[in-house]
Amino acid sequence: MIIALTYALEKHLPVGFVVLIALACALALTFFLVVAGILIEWYRKKRQGYERPSTTYPTRAANLARVPPEHLFGTLSGNRPPAI
């Protein structure tokens, strides 16, 4: 009752209500932008024929055969401390 009477006398909303309305508008706009982005990505993946990556991993022996350790550490010699 007091708010309605104050509104009728002053002809404008209190600052607190203006802030709450602005916050609600900002949150709603952010929500709709996020949902639109998710829907656009879903449509793009569907249109391009997106396939999930395989979850199988190569064996460890196959990875070790790629680069021999002496090729990686061939330039290291002796027992020197690292240069900082």
Instruction: Enter the pTM of the model.
Output: 0.47
Is residue 32 classed as helix, strand or coil in its secondary structure? Answer: helix
Structure confidence at residue 55 (pLDDT): 76
Q: How confident is the model at residue 58 (pLDDT cuts 50, 70, 90)?
A: low
> Coil, strand, or helix at residue 76?
coil
Average pLDDT over residues 77-81: 67
1-52 pLDDT tens trace: 566 656 556 678 899 999 999 999 999 999 999 999 999 999 998 888 877 7
